[in-house]
Structure 1
Amino acid sequence: MNIAASLDAIGRLDPEVSAFVEVWAEEALARERSTCTGLPLAGMPFAVKGPSGIRSCAARRLTAAGAVAVGSTSVPGPGTPWQTWGLGAHGPTRNPWRPDRTPGGSSAGSAAAVAAGMVGLATGSDGAGSVRIPAAWCSVFGLKTTNGLLPSPDRTGLASAGVLTPTAADARAYLRCVLDTYEPVAPVLPLPAVWSADLGFADTEPEVAAVALAAVERLESAGVVRLADARPVLLDPRDAWTAVRAGRPARGAAVRAGNDRRLDALFADAALLLTPATPNRPHGHDGPGADVYSTALTWAFNLSGHPAASIPAGFTGDGCPVGLQLVAARGADVSLVEMAVAAERGLITVRP
């Protein structure tokens, strides 16, 4: 996709999807004309998360590689107590699969823009699941990098850079350009893996769990993973995450240390931890409801720092996308993307 095709798609589709806050058409076309054709991503359109996304480290490195930012995508509007939605230039951001539902958030517009085909890559950031949740609900690939791998303005250390692309293979270009070293190695299959529908504490919807488990079983049948009998149990990270976010990390130290020990033991034997990306399906535009935490299965890994991704797993009976979360050892970002590529090849997801 070139810049003109991306801008045409945005012009046609965004009035309905409302994924963008701003579109930089003239600037993007001018930059495309002036970009050196020898650069690795010369003329590739991408979107950035939120009004300040163009200043992120990832956006700067993508631009240096020749990619061209076509606009900034929606994030939650002011004053909301929940973050799994977005507010674009045309109103609430709508899920391309189910317009009556949210695309997730807070990288809402980035996921919706990729899912609708307006761009092939969009930046995101993930402090509690803000890349993986919208990736799951929009049936695209989303990666949260290892905490601290790339600079982040989040002083709590919870948020890390991420990317949303149609497939895991498409994310390779992102990693090649934003990482100081990129040395992909084909994973040795089957990958030793463990599965959990709830991590021991989450109230996962039965149908969401069933769709994700069916994907895992297909991966096992395809020889992509080899499941261990172990069922990992973590301590519920909600209060610890909230304490760290509030600037009182000591209050969550015990839970954090306990989960770190459990995860270290898990990744001593396994290459992947597999869970549903969210415990629930996409909710409506009026919010998820009281005491519903779409972050329940993601924010433990913002506390622990592990890289994590969501790949499309399938759909619920009412047509809502479900994501399968893949978590790997700290620093194994490149390996995680290669494992996700292998997993996507082992899955065939069809909308009912």
Structure 2
Amino acid sequence: MTVKGERGARHPGVQALLRAGAVPIGTTSVPRGPRGYQTWGHTDRGLTRNPWRADLSPGGSSAGAAAAVAAGIVPLSCGSDGAGSVRIPAAWCHVIGFKPSTGRAPTPDPAGLAVPGVLVRDPALLQPWAAAVLPDWSPPTGLPEPPLAAAAWSATLGYAGPHLDPEVAEIAERAAQALCARAGLALSRPGVNLTDPENAWMTLRSNTSSAAKQRRAQRTRHDNNRRLTELFQSADLLMTPTTPGRAHGHDGPGEHLSVALTWGINLSGHPAVSVPAGLTADGCPVGLQIIARPCGDERLLQLLDDHVPQAPIATPRSRP
């Protein structure tokens, strides 16, 4: 395995993996942009390149972690996810990236938005990771549980339309349809309308926000949680593109907001995963985000184990 950044080895989750017998081979790069949630940037060693297309960003901030798994260097990389920092690199590097429910594992983030995560090619590795890292993990017992029956699809969650790339949305939706067919799930399009979480996330992440801003942020969070609770009364899963657009180049995202569909799930605390959905015509990997009910981590990972294939090792492609 690899460890995210030089300080990653001290994280309780990494220490738990070491006790379980995992063997670290090194640390991975954590490039950042001018603002901490951005999905690009340089390190003191230069660029972190996407194994599928070297001219593209691998996402952030668990960039090196995703690249190492995609390139076949290691089967598992540790990451962390505060706004999509495991799911976005997983999507853009064509691997699997899992963010557990908030509260399932210790986090050093004072805002409680960032949680430990993991990146793999083989979904069979997710449950052993969870058993080692999540203190209250309940492995499958073989006892019958109500089967997952229904999933809901939304390309924008009601607010991300300005950032949406139609080809990315089409590829992700086809992947959702195929997964639901394999798993025997009914797929609906109920019309999800959440409030854009950008201001709430930025406010709660800041330690200088005023009390009034904090109250507004919490109102947005509670309102979105209420809407998600209503949605999950009729659906077991919510599926979206992991990012509304494709991976950008090393010159930065411009107006591209890669976190638009992920950071609201850090606010809500739901478990979520990005799985490979396919490639665009010009070779950009696309991810499908799957969100489960609160604390539905075990059933989500069982779905992946049963119905999501192992991701391929990256086949580098030159820019057309």
> What aligned pairs does 1:71-150 form with structure 2 within 5 A after superposition?
71-77=26-32, 79=34, 83-85=38-40, 87=42, 90-150=45-105
Alignment of 1:37-52 (within 5 A): 46-52=1-7
The yes-or-no answer on 1:207 pairing with 2:167 is yes
Partner of 2:180: 220
Is 1:288 the counterpart of 2:253 in the alignment? yes
Residue 226 of structure 2 corresponds to which residue in structure 1?
261
Alignment partner for residue 232 of structure 1, among 174, 192, 206? Answer: 192
Distance 1:285 1:53 in 2: 25
Offset, 1:197 = 0.5
Residue of structure 1 equivalent to 2:156: 198
Q: How many residues align?
A: 306
Task: Choose which of 294, 312, 321 in structure 1 pairs with 2:276.
Answer: 312
In 2, Cα distance between equivalents of 1:178 and 1:221: 31
- The alpha carbon displacement at 1:222 in A equals 3.0
Aligned AA (2:172) = A
What secondary structure sits across from 1:69 in the alignment? coil
1:180-221, CA deviations, whole angstroms, 9 ceiling, x for partnerless residues? 333226876663100001101103110000000111222233
The answer on whether the counterparts of 2:40 and 2:253 sit within 8 Å (CA) in structure 1 is no
Compared with structure 1, are the counterparts of its residues 79 and 205 closer, same or farther at alpha carbon in structure 2 (3 Å cutoff)?
closer
Once residues 312 and 113 of structure 1 are traced to their aligned partners in structure 2, the CA distance between those partners, rounded to angstroms, is: 16
1:200 and 1:179, CA in 2 relative to 1: closer, same or farther beyond 3 A? Answer: same
Unmatched segments (≥5 aa) in structure 2:
none
Alpha-carbon distance in structure 2 between the residues aligned to 1:89 and 1:338: 39
Closer/same/farther in 2, CA of residues 228 and 239 from structure 1, 3 Å limit: same
Q: Deviations over 1:35-79 (max 9, x none)?
A: xxxxxxxxxxx1111111001111000000111111111112575
Matched residue SS, 1:162 = strand
Distance in 1, matches of 2:25 and 2:44, equals: 15
* Contact 2:122 2:311 (C-alpha < 8 Å) held by counterparts: no
Cα deviation for residue 231 of structure 1 reads 2.1
Is the alpha carbon distance of 1:87 and 1:59 closer, same or farther for their aligned partners in structure 2, counting shifts above 3 Å? farther
- Native 8 Å contact 1:82 1:287 kept in 2: no
Distance in 1 separating the partners of 2:81 and 2:120: 15
Aligned mates of 1:252, 1:127 — CA distance in 2: 16
- How far apart, CA to CA, are the structure 2 residues paired with 1:123 and 1:347? 17
Kept in 2, the 8 Å contact 1:76–1:83? The answer is no
Q: Tell me whether 1:177 sits opposite 2:132 in the alignment.
A: yes
State the shift of 1:148 in Å.
1.6
Q: Helix, strand or coil for the counterpart of 1:268?
A: coil
- Are 2:155 and 2:241, in contact at CA under 8 Å, matched by a contact in 1? yes
Judge conservation of contact 1:326–1:340 (CA < 8 Å) in 2: no
Indicate the structure (1 or 2) with the bigger Cα radius of gyration. Answer: 1
- The Cα shift of 1:318 comes to 0.5
> Residue in 2 aligned with 1:250?
215
**Amino acid of the residue matched to residue 241 of structure 1?**
W
1:97 counterpart SS class:
coil
Give the secondary-structure state (helix, strand or coil) at the position aligned to 1:323. strand
- CA gap of 1:200–1:346, structure 2 versus 1, over 3 A, is farther
* RMSD between superposed Cα atoms in Å: 2.4
- Checking the alignment, whether the CA contact within 8 Å between 2:33 and 2:42 is kept in structure 1 is no
> 1:146: Cα distance to partner?
0.8
Instruction: Return the match for 2:241 from 263, 276, 290.
Output: 276
Deviates more, 1:306-315 or 1:246-255: 246-255
SS in 1 for 2:58: coil
Identical pairs, percent: 48
Structure 1: gaps spanning 5 or more residues: 1-45
**Residues 1:97 and 1:130: Cα distance change in structure 2 (over 3 Å):** same
Q: What amino acid is the match of 2:295?
A: G
